[in-house]
């Protein structure tokens, strides 16, 4: 009786902790987006307008461009969340199961008919172990699936497509999973990877424009030795730090997209050759879309 009560209490405590963690993640995501979009960008440009009594037309145009870039950046972030990574839902699992069933049966028949082929297919260690017919069929099932690039998720206990991985945060299998973005609290996968690329592109573009427009005023402030003005431009150094962090990150993902590779595949490096590589242009089209003139639009 006491054991049952403890199990019930533990169950409710675990659920409560999971709810608290999810709420915290959502709150953290909102705070981060707010800090980045408002405190870092809009506040800086408001200060820029206040500090300068006169703005040339060139500076006005640049600020309008930055406004458009900020808008595209926010829209890209919305699209990342809206589209989601593309989860392996039940319909995909059923389709895979139906598609594989007949192929699997044919492969098993051929393997069972030829002892030499069966021995070649299995590992040497597996051949030396005494196996029952049921164990042999189960092992052959797994081997045939792996040879076709299809694996069984150990957590979901179901088929998952090629390049799909189980996310411990989302608790689902993600199609062509790249990574779990803790800042947006969502996985980056096949459906939203394009928008994620656009997001980090516009973040970098926005940072570069901010650095360019602030540089002239920053140099003037240093030459005039205006201490009060210089202290306000600690923001400039913060933005430059963001550039150092985000630009290599963007280049890394450009390289991954050009090689038709995910972050997981890059770090695993199980295969010396990338079997998904076609050529740079077709790799980019596969990820960003067939029409190149839509690549930078969050649609």
pTM over 0.85: no
Residue 181 designated active-site: yes
240 vs 272 pLDDT, higher one: 240
Of residues 198, 186, 184, the one with CA closest to residue 84: 186
φ and ψ of 165, to 5 deg: -140, 155
CA-to-CA dists, residue 263 to 166, 211, 268, 269, 272, angstroms: 14, 29, 9, 10, 15
* Alpha carbons 129 and 87: distance in angstroms, whole number: 38
**Cβ-proximal residues to 234 (8 Å cutoff; 6+ apart), any chain:** none
Average pLDDT on 286-296 reads: 86
The pLDDT value recorded for residue 53 is 46
The pLDDT value recorded for residue 14 is 63
φ and ψ of 43, to 5 deg: -60, -40
Confidence of residue 139 (pLDDT cuts 50, 70, 90): low
- Range with the lowest mean pLDDT among 40-44, 181-185, 242-246? 40-44
Average pLDDT on 57-77 reads: 79
Length reported for the chain: 299
* Alpha carbons 254 and 168: distance in angstroms, whole number: 26
**Cβ-proximal residues to 78 (8 Å cutoff; 6+ apart), any chain:** 298
- Range with the lowest mean pLDDT among 176-190, 236-250, 263-277? 263-277
- Range with the lowest mean pLDDT among 119-123, 207-211, 253-257? 119-123
Catalytic residue among 167, 173, 181, 206: 181
* Alpha carbons 179 and 189: distance in angstroms, whole number: 7
The pLDDT value recorded for residue 178 is 92
E strands present in the chain: 151-153, 158-160, 165-167, 172-174, 179-181, 186-188
């Amino acid at each position: 009786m006491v054991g049952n009560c403890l199990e019930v209490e533990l169950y409710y405590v675990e659920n409560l902790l999971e709810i608290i963690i999810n709420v915290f993640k959502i709150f953290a995501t909102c705070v981060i987006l707010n800090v980045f979009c408002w405190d870092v960008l809009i506040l800086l440009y408001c200060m820029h307008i206040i500090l300068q009594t006169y703005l040339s037309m060139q500076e006005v145009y640049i600020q309008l461009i930055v406004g458009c870039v900020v808008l595209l950046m926010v829209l890209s972030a919305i699209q990342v969340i809206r589209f989601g990574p593309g989860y392996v839902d039940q319909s995909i699992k059923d389709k895979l199961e139906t598609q594989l069933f007949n192929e699997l049966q044919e492969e098993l028949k051929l393997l069972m008919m030829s002892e030499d082929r069966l021995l070649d297919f299995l590992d040497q260690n597996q051949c030396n172990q005494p196996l029952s017919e049921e164990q042999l069929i189960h092992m052959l099932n797994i081997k045939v699936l792996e040879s076709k690039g299809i694996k069984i998720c150990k957590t979901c206990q179901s088929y998952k497509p090629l390049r799909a991985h189980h996310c411990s945060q989302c608790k689902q299998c993600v199609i062509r999973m790249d990574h779990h973005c803790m800042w947006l609290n969502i996985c980056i996968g096949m459906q939203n990877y394009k928008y994620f690329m656009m997001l980090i592109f516009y973040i970098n573009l926005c940072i570069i424009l901010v650095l360019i427009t602030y540089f002239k005023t920053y140099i003037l402030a240093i030459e005039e030795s205006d201490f009060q003005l210089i202290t306000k431009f600690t923001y400039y150094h913060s933005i430059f730090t963001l550039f150092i962090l985000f630009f290599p990150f963007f280049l890394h993902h450009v390289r991954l997209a050009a090689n038709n590779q995910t972050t997981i595949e890059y770090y695993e490096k199980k295969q010396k050759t990338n079997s998904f590589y076609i050529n740079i242009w077709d790799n980019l089209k596969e990820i960003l879309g067939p029409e190149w003139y839509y690549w930078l639009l969050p649609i």
